Amino acid sequence: MRMLVTGGSGFVGSALCRRLHVLGHDVIALARRPSPMLAAAGIRTVIHDLAAPAADSSLAGIFTGVGCVFHTAAHVKMWGTREAFRAGNIVATDHVIAACREAGVPRLVFTSSPSVVATPAGLRGVDESQPYPAHFEAFYPETKAAAEQAVLAAHSAALRTIALRPHLIFGPGDTNLVPTILARARAGRLVQVGDGSNLVDLTFIDDCVEAHGLAAAALDERPSAGGRAYFISQGTPVPLWGWIARVLELHSVAPVRRKISARLARVLATVAETTWRTCRFKSDPPLTRFLAEEMATDHYFDLSAARRELGYAPSLTVWEATERSFGGAAAPP
């Protein structure tokens, strides 16, 4: 069967492309740049900007004959303009939905984020009944929430849709989470926010990819699964700063020594955001309110719906996946 993955050169998209290819599917990777890794695996890449004004009409031809579209592409940044986030998340997703409809694609699996329901107080064991907030702390969750709602609203007999919400994805090939942690730590810019006791869910890349395959299958096998969002993770929360400490240790990077309170972090983040917005600096601010909250509060989820409707079951614990990804003996903090 022909499968198409948007964001095919990204961390999740690339891993998903390779897995689908191994399973024998005819895979098309849609990306904004070539991927030597996909080319070496024999996977065809089509270069395309999903946010371009005429993207919806030009996409239909690419989507023709596709049995499932996995929309993993997104504008994922800590900072930027609302227009950039809107184009990369909302406009691009609208174009994907329109192209799916025009080309007659029967299934669409969207890679969303738990941040679409994030609150300043954190999230503790919530399920998918958790509402979208009235106010968002950043443009990324705001625009991802709008995109997720559009995908779920598009669910119909002709185009069956699902949204997955994997949290803090890590593993071999990671281009975002762990590299950012390591870069900040090596530069002496990683500071613990809060007392270090906050618990978070994380998602191993192999299980994230597996969840996407299960979601596509569920759209064929269980009608009740469609038109809904699902939290995805390893299923057991761990102390965020304990996990970061282990990641640093496995990479022979010095541990974090500096700490600030969550309250002070929010004040500093507010000042930084105001300064960067007023002065229109091109760089990212050293801290944002959304990032400060993510580093200091609990974020873990009830996976009951994904287990029941998708048949999802994490293959490893967070600690096991961390050791498998980065080497060393299993010795959680």
Check 132, 140, 230, 300 and give the catalytic one. Answer: 140
- CA dist 322 and 70 (Å) reads 26
* 59-86: burial string, b at 16+ Cβ within 10 Å, e else: bbebbeebebbbbbbbbbeebeeeeebb
Decide: 70 and 113 in contact? Cβ < 8 Å: no
Quote the tokens at residue 309: 């409707």
Neighbours of 48 (CB within 10 A): 18
118-122 own/partner pairs: CB under 8 Å, 24+ apart: 118/290, 118/293, 118/294, 118/299, 120/293, 120/297, 121/297, 122/198, 122/293, 122/297, 122/298, 122/299
- DSSP run (H or E) holding 4: strand 2-6
Quote the tokens at residue 86: 């809107």
Tokens 């509060």: give the residue: 297
Does residue 268 sit in helix, strand or coil? helix
140 as an active site residue: the answer is yes
Q: What are phi and psi of 56, to 5 degrees?
A: -65, -40
Kindly tell me the sign of the dihedral angle through the C-alpha atoms of 45, 50, 52, 55. Answer: positive
- DSSP run (H or E) holding 245: helix 240-250
Taking alpha carbons only, the member of 314, 323, 124 closest to residue 234 is: 314
Tokens 């119909």: give the residue: 156
CA distances from 163 to 291, 292, 308 (A): 23, 26, 15
Q: What are the residues whose beta carbons fall under 8 Å from the beta carbon of 223, sequence distance 6 or more? A: 160
Residue 124 carries which side chain, given as an amino acid letter?
R
Residues designated as active site:
140
